[in-house]
Structure 1
Amino acid sequence: MASHRIPLILLACGSFNPITNQHMRLFELARDYMHSTGQYRVVGGIVSPVSDGYGKQGLVLAKHRIAMAKLALQSSNWVTVDEWESQQPDWTETVVTMRYHYERFLKEYEQSTETRSGAGGNTTSPPPHLKLLCGADFLDTFKIPGLWQDDHVEELVGHFGLVCVSRGRLQPERAVHESDMLSRHGRNIFLLREWVMNEVSATEVRRALRRGLSVKYLIPDSVIEYIHQHNLYTEDSERRNKGSALRPLIKQPQQPVKSLDD
């Protein structure tokens, strides 16, 4: 029965520079798939844009990325935009963002349980789970030297879990198979395939905008209008952070370079 399914919130972290139809489509695909498992009931989705401290070339200010994401998701009745990560003065590790949201939801659950218990109501509903929603290429980032701390990967995959959407020729199954750590937590990694091909990328959207080309039907009309109003994604904006190292590569404590198989 649906009442016995585990409530699940899907969290997507990233630049969202700008948010595209593909970003939003991931949530719909993931919700359908997680419902099909018979284990979960998706009760919410969160888009969490990275802060300006990330240091990626061409990253426009967080206030614009937040505004565009909110415009894009106006029609969604279950996916929202959260500003906490984007407002941090420095780049925030993904697992830290996950902890923040999980603690927030757990607190809300406990308060709700106390209220129902005090009113003599049903208190048997399970606590919510939180999983990271990502694209297939995300698993490959675990192999980049210096980008992730091993204990963060362990917590992210082992404690929270991943919902990974694959498309095209990417093979996340291979990434899981080749890593002892990922394989160990294989039951907490949900791999699904998008059969309706949608190769929209924010990089290509920015390139088209710089060249004065149409991006209609790639991103929502409301986002296109916002971009034009604020003159975003120009040749000047693409030079922002040029030559800078990504903040994760600087902030993470130095540790011996090794693979997740070690």
Structure 2
Amino acid sequence: MASRRVPLVLLACGSFNPITNQHMRLFELARDHMHSTGQYQVVGGIVSPVSDGYGKQGLVLAKHRIAMARLALQSSNWVTVDDWESQQPDWTETVVTMRYHYGRILKDYDQSEGTHKDCNANPLTSPRLKLKLLCGADFLNTFKIPGLWQDDHVEEVAGRFGLVCVSRGGLQPERAVHESDTLSRHNNNIFLVREWVRNETSATEVRRALRRGLSVKYLIPDSVIEYIHQHNLYTEDSERRNEGTVLRPLTKQAQQPVKSLDD
């Protein structure tokens, strides 16, 4: 019965610089897959752009990335854009962002359920809302980059929350899971989704095309293209933003003792 399925919210964290059709497609693919398991009912999706403190080269201001994401998702009736992470003065660890959203949506969901449940409902047998991190296959490989993740954060993301990972190009997310003891231990909480319609669109290539005055129509929504032109985003000057800056995750995590994930 659908009513016995676990309600699930999908959270995607990233630069979204700019958001592309492929970013939005991840949500649709993930929802279909999670429904096909017979265990979950996807009740919402959240796009959470990173803050300006991330320090990645070419990263335009968060206010623009938030605005573009909202324009792009106007046609979605279940995926929303949240600006909490983007407004933080420093880069926020993914697991911290997940904790924040889980606490917020759990409170909202419980209040909503309390309002709509009839007097015969038994809250003790109702499935508990879950939050999982939605990502592309390339994301799993970041767990292997020395100094980028804390071991306990990987454990919490994979173990407490879980991941829904969509294939991308020739990448093999199965191998990334296999090669990590931490990920393998939580294999039942990591859902690998196959995208049969190959789409290699990347924000990097979109920015490159825009800098060169080339068309990006059908790669990103028309409303986002219009916004980019209105605000003169993604120029040679903007691509030099943060040039030479070390990614904030690397400098922030360097303050913590670093161990191999598989030690």
TM-score between the two structures when normalised by the length of structure 1: 0.96
Cα shift at 1:261: 1.6
Distance 1:128 1:6 in 2: 6
Cα shift at 1:127: 2.0
**1:180-200 deviation per Cα after TM superposition (whole angstroms, max 9, x unaligned):** 111000000000110101000
Distance 1:206 1:109 in 2: 38
Cα shift at 1:175: 0.8
Distance 1:247 1:150 in 2: 17
The residue number in structure 1 matching 2:252 is 251
SS state at 1:196 partner: coil
Change (3 A) 1:92 1:256: closer
Aligned AA for 1:49? P
CA contact (8 A) 1:166 1:172 kept: yes
Note the residue ranges of structure 1 that are not aligned, 5 or more in a row: none
Distance 2:46 2:109 in 1: 17
Change (3 A) 1:83 1:255: closer
CA contact (8 A) 2:91 2:249 kept: yes
Aligned AA for 2:119? G
Aligned AA for 1:245? V
Change (3 A) 1:254 1:89: closer
CA contact (8 A) 2:45 2:79 kept: yes
The residue number in structure 2 matching 1:47 is 47
The residue number in structure 2 matching 1:167 is 168
SS state at 2:44 partner: strand
The residue number in structure 1 matching 2:83 is 83
Distance 1:253 1:151 in 2: 15
Deviation >6 Å, runs of 4+: none
Cα shift at 1:63: 0.4
The residue number in structure 2 matching 1:14 is 14
The residue number in structure 2 matching 1:68 is 68
Matched length: 261
TM-score between the two structures when normalised by the length of structure 2: 0.96
Aligned AA for 2:210? L
**1:202-227 deviation per Cα after TM superposition (whole angstroms, max 9, x unaligned):** 00000000000000000000000000
Distance 1:71 1:32 in 2: 23
**1:56-98 deviation per Cα after TM superposition (whole angstroms, max 9, x unaligned):** 0000000000000000000000000001000111100000000
The residue number in structure 2 matching 1:227 is 228
The residue number in structure 2 matching 1:105 is 105
SS state at 2:74 partner: coil
The residue number in structure 2 matching 1:93 is 93
Q: CA RMSD in A?
A: 1.3
CA contact (8 A) 2:158 2:183 kept: yes
- Does residue 154 (structure 1) correspond to residue 128 (structure 2)? The answer is no
CA contact (8 A) 2:134 2:163 kept: yes
- Does residue 138 (structure 1) correspond to residue 145 (structure 2)? The answer is no
The residue number in structure 2 matching 1:30 is 30
The residue number in structure 1 matching 2:207 is 206
Cα shift at 1:125: 2.7
Cα shift at 1:147: 0.5
CA contact (8 A) 1:12 1:47 kept: yes
Cα shift at 1:18: 0.1
Aligned-pair identity (%): 85
Cα shift at 1:167: 2.5
Change (3 A) 1:62 1:136: same
Cα shift at 1:113: 4.5
CA contact (8 A) 1:72 1:220 kept: yes
Distance 1:125 1:233 in 2: 48
